[in-house]
Amino acid sequence: MKLSVATGAVLLAASANGQLDIPGLLKNATVNPNDPRFSQWKAPGAGDVRAPCPGLNSLANHGFLNHNGKGLTIPQLILGGAQGLNMGPDFMAVIGAVGLLSSPNPAAGSFDLDDLDEHNFPIEHDASLSRLDKYFGNNYAFNQKTWDATLSFFHGQTKTTTPTASKARYSNVKKSKANNPTSLYGPQQFILSSGETALYVQTMDSPVTNSAQITYVKSLFEKEKLPYNLGWRPSAVPITLLSLGEYITQLSAANPDSFAEGQSKCIAGVRTESVLMIKSSYRRGLIR
Q: 120-134 pLDDT, tens per residue?
A: 888 999 999 999 999
For residue 63, the SS3 value is: coil
Is the pLDDT score of 110 beyond 70?
A: yes
d(C-alpha 282, C-alpha 285), whole Å: 5
Domain ranges of the chain: 2-119+146-283
Confidence (pTM): 0.85
> What is the CATH code of the structural domain delimited by 2-119+146-283?
1.10.489.10
Q: 138-148 pLDDT, tens per residue?
A: 999 999 999 99
Residue 282 pLDDT: 43
d(C-alpha 270, C-alpha 277), whole Å: 11
d(C-alpha 67, C-alpha 50), whole Å: 9
Residue 262 pLDDT: 55
Residue 165 pLDDT: 98
- Pure H helices in 47-125: 54-61, 74-85, 89-102
What single-letter DSSP state applies at residue 123? S
Mean predicted confidence (pLDDT) in 192-201: 97
Residue 68 pLDDT: 99
d(C-alpha 282, C-alpha 128), whole Å: 34
Least confident of 52-66, 144-158, 177-191: 177-191
